[in-house]
Amino acid sequence: MTLRVNGESYSREWEARVTLLDALREDLGLTGTKKGCDRGECGACTVLVDGRRIKSCLTLAVMQQGREITTIEGLADGERLHPVQAAFIRHDGLQCGFCTPGQIMSGVACIREGHADSDDEVRDWMSGNLCRCGCYPNIVAAIRDAATSGKDN
């Protein structure tokens, strides 16, 4: 089967039971996507599939054939960071950084969905992404900044 990830096609003989998260990390070496809980609770494994955010631990790789998958590795434009990535740096939205790829992928989608008009709205629509370091105020500030500066696309 073939997966499209960050604009490239990867053909492998994946077993039907392999999750998208394991296919990305273990087989394609795209370890930016993190495994936190492996059961849909933490959001560390968030990627975009056809532009929509999903938790990659909760879906099988075989189910995502023919779709465009974007991971944190595919977000920047060459050396130029995505505006949400840049905003996370500006606002110091991370400590250990383990949750950060998932937070950023989810933040990109949150803005595109039109769910970043207030701090409360961002908190609500980012509630599927947990941060054990407790960086929430800075994460919210980064997403609001990227959203309001109109540079989210």
The residues of the shown chain that bind ligand FES, judged by CB under 6 A, are 35-38, 40-45, 55, 57, 94-100, 131-133, 135
Nearest approach in angstroms of CB 124 to ligand FES is 18
Nearest approach in angstroms of CB 39 to ligand FES is 6
| 32/36 with CB nearer ligand FES | 36
Nearest approach in angstroms of CB 78 to ligand FES is 26
| 45/147 with CB nearer ligand FES | 45
Nearest approach in angstroms of CB 96 to ligand FES is 3
Instruction: Find how far residue 42's CA is from the centre of its chain.
Output: 12
C-alpha 145/C-alpha 87 separation (Å) is 7
C-alpha 75/C-alpha 71 separation (Å) is 7
| 6/95 with CB nearer ligand FES | 95
HSE (CB half, 13 Å, CA atoms) of 21? 20
Measured between alpha carbons, how far is residue 19 from residues 14, 72, 115, 119 in Å? Answer: 9, 17, 28, 33
